Amino acid sequence: MGDSIDYSSPYANYRSPLSTRYASKEMQYNFSDQKKFSTWRKLWINLAKAEKQLGLNIKAEQIQEMENNIYNINFEEAQQEEKLTRHDVMAHVHVFAKQCPLAAPIIHLGATSCFVGDNTDLIIIRDGLDLLMPRVATVIQNLAKFAEQYKTLPALGYTHLQPAQLTTVGKRATLWLYDFLMDERALSRARDDLRFRGVKGTTGTQASFMQLFEDSSKVRALDKLVAELSGFSKTYPVTGQTYTRKVDLEIVAALSSLGSSVHKMCSDLRLLANFKEIEEPFEASQIGSSAMPYKRNPMRSERCCALARHLISLFANAANTHSVQWLERTLDDSANKRLTLSEAFLSADAALMVLSNITQGLVVYPKVIEKRINQELPFMSAENLIMAMVKKGGDRQVCHEKIRVLSQEAGAQVKRFGKDNDLIERVRADPYFKPILAELDGLLDPSTYTGRAAEQVSEFLSEEVEPILLKYKESLKDSSNVVLNI
Q: Let me know: does 184 contact 133? Beta carbons within 8 Å.
A: yes
Spatial distance between the Cα atoms of 176 and 278, rounded to a whole number of angstroms: 14
CA dihedral sign of residues 412, 153, 473, 483: positive
| Exposure of 175 in the CB half-sphere (CA atoms within 13 A) | 12
Q: Measure the CA–CA gap between 476 and 134, rounded to whole angstroms.
A: 7
Amino acid letter, 472? Y
For the chain, helix, strand, coil in percent to 5 are 70, 5, 30
Rounded Cα–Cα distance for residues 356 and 150 (Å)? 18
87 is catalytic: no
φ, ψ of residue 221 in degrees (nearest 5)? -65, -35
Q: Give the type of residue at 288.
A: G
Q: For residue 274, how many other CB atoms are within 10 A of its CB?
A: 9
Which among 308, 280, 312 is positioned nearest to 296, based on CA atoms? 280
Of 84, 123, 91, 124, the residue nearest 107 (C-alpha): 91
Q: Which of 4, 8, 160, 290 is catalytic?
A: 160
Q: Could you say which of 289, 334, 447, 462 is catalytic?
A: 289
Active site includes 160?
yes
N- to C-terminal Cα separation, the chain: 33
> In residues, how long is the chain?
486
3 state SS of 406: helix
Distances (CA, A) of 335 to 121, 213, 318, 321, 426: 13, 34, 12, 10, 70
The amino acid present at 169, given as its one-letter code, is V
Residues annotated catalytic, as ranges: 160, 289
